[in-house]
Structure formats: structure tokens, C-alpha cells
Amino acid sequence: MKWLQVLVLENCRIQQIDPNVLEPLNNLKRLEITHNRGLTYLPQNLFKYTPVLEILLLVANRITNITWNEFEGLNRLKELSLAANRIDYFDATKVARFMPNLKKLFIEQNMGSCRKKLDFKDKLQAKMDHPIHVQYTLDPGSYDDCKHFDD
């Protein structure tokens, strides 16, 4: 498994992840852990063994508690999707520090208000040294000012 570059774990009923599970997968470039409704958190240091990971999809789980320290070491990550979880805390400083090459971030269908996500997007863009696309609504571009959403 040392040369594995893509791993998809979809609808596997994952409830928790051992922080060392990715250790033998240090050539992993794309990881998808999606549609695992029992998964509510990510362990610290989960990605310390994935130095070349570029795409991380954590879509449609039930992740709620994120400190954003879980993503430390993802220096090469270009795309992260946390869409359709239950996250309500977004930390622009940690995202910029731990994922400096991030180009696309998907956070739509999470618990935070539209205003909170828009503020996060603005703060993150100010901290990055390149443009970053942050999708925080289902229909990007339609309601960028958040005036049509409840705060």
C-alpha cells in the first residue's frame, strides 16, 4: 500500500479513525472519507503521515467539533471539502497556516450562518498570498452578500 495515491472510503459506516491509520500511505494524493454518518470528529495528527496529499474530501459525514489543528501538516493540500457536515467554527488563521497552498475550500451545508461563513471567507482571503475559492452556499454567486439568509 506504500504506493497508493487515491483512497475512497464512502458509505463505510466509519465512526472513528485511528490517528495512525494513514501512516503506511505517505504517497496518498487524494483521500475521500464521505457519507459516513457516524463520523463526528477527526483525531489530532491524522494527516501527519500524508505529506503529499493534494485533495481531501470529507463530505456528508457528521463532523461537528473541529479545532482546525487536525489539518496541521497539509502543506500541499489544494482542495478541501467539508460540505454537508455540522461544523459551525471556522478558523481562517489555522487554515492559512496549516494549508498554505489551498486553492478551493467547500464549506456549504454546515451549521454556521451565512454571515459567519462570509466573514471567514474574507479573513481567509486576506491571510493567503494567492486567490482562494471558498464555496459557502449551495448556489455560489447568487447570494454573496448573505442578505437572503438568516444569521
Q: Is residue 144 part of a domain?
A: no
As a whole number of angstroms, the distance between CA 115 and CA 150 comes to: 8
CATH number (domain holding residue 118): 3.80.10.10
For residue range 21-30, list pLDDT tens digits in order. 999 999 999 9
Q: Is residue 55 part of a domain?
A: yes
For residue range 106-140, list pLDDT tens digits in order. 999 999 888 999 999 999 999 999 999 999 987 65
For residue range 42-100, list pLDDT tens digits in order. 999 999 999 999 999 999 999 998 999 999 999 999 999 999 999 999 999 999 999 99
Beta strands in 36-150 (DSSP E): 55-57, 79-81, 104-106, 133-135
Q: Whole-model pTM?
A: 0.92
As a whole number of angstroms, the distance between CA 98 and CA 74 comes to: 6
Phi-psi region of 123 (alpha: psi -120 to 50; beta: other; left: phi over 0): alpha
Instruction: Identify the domain containing residue 11 by its residue range.
Output: 6-135
What total number of domains does the chain contain?
Answer: 1
Q: Is residue 125 part of a domain?
A: yes
Q: Is residue 149 part of a domain?
A: no
Q: What is the mean pLDDT of the chain?
A: 92
Give the residue carrying C-alpha cell 459567519. Answer: 116
Q: Is residue 142 part of a domain?
A: no
pLDDT at 144 over 60: no
Q: Is residue 148 part of a domain?
A: no
